[in-house]
Amino acid sequence: MPPVTAGPELRVALVQHASGLDPEENRRLLAGLTPDGADLVVFPEAFARDFGEAGSDVGAYAESLDGPFATEVGRVAAERGTTMVAGMFEAGEDPGRPFNTLVLRGAAEASYRKVHLYDSFGYRESDRLAPGPTGPAVVVEVGGFRVGLMTCYDLRFPEMARALVDGGAELLVVPSAWVAGPRKVDHWRTLVRARAIENTVFVAAAGQPGPRYTGHSMIVDPLGDVLVEAGEGPSVVTATLRLADLAAARKTNPSLANRRL
């Protein structure tokens, strides 16, 4: 696809960095890791506090949407003149089972509670966390782009991405803590590209690094080309997205318009 420069552009940065078990230290990391010059900065899932050992009780680390972590995300976003997305545990009605929540602060303010909990590959996320509501899709405007939010395991459910696109999303943002293991990098790369191709949207997927998680944070364009991809270790990767490129991709491949089901 030839480059097209007309229309809105969005510079996206993915921060591939591990969160630790100390929430205060994780909050301090936000300012230091946020790069200058990005319109949208995406941190991984559970950045406010890591999950800990599999099956750990994370209820004691749950916060409100105006608590210390979300407040610091908003402060850093305002200070840097950007929009930020990061994952946290949000207190709910059941203190033993908080929500796995994304907070977005900056050009817009939104939150998304993870719908599909990671009850797979030997894990039981639902034992310690509550699922979010199945609708409506969370889509907000950032820099002239309609941005849809989903989290990690949601990536394995194509109907989730399609609901966001039907809600107007032109960029899917996927903060993750994709657990390492056999085939996991291949699954991650395949699914990120598949969600972009089948929906003709940009996908920006930010993961925590190895060795516990897979890393390989990546930004993919609406025809499935990988614009940038990290390795396994800590890093920050960036790409500039052009809304005109999305329009050109949908002209080349009008699969959304051609749907019959």
**Nearest-angstrom CA–CA distance, 220 and 192:** 7
**Nearest-angstrom CA–CA distance, 31 and 19:** 14
**Nearest-angstrom CA–CA distance, 153 and 172:** 14
> Within 10 Å of residue 124's Cβ, how many Cβ atoms?
13
The token pair at 253 is: 């491949």
The token pair at 129 is: 């966390």
Cis peptide before 136 (omega within 30 of 0): yes
Query: Running DSSP on this structure, what letter comes out for residue 127?
Result: G
- 146: Cα within 13 Å, side-chain hemisphere: 12
75-52-114 Cα angle (round to 5):
60
End-to-end CA distance of the chain: 28
Catalytic residues, by residue number, are 45, 114, 152
The values of phi and psi at residue 95, to 5°, are -65, -20
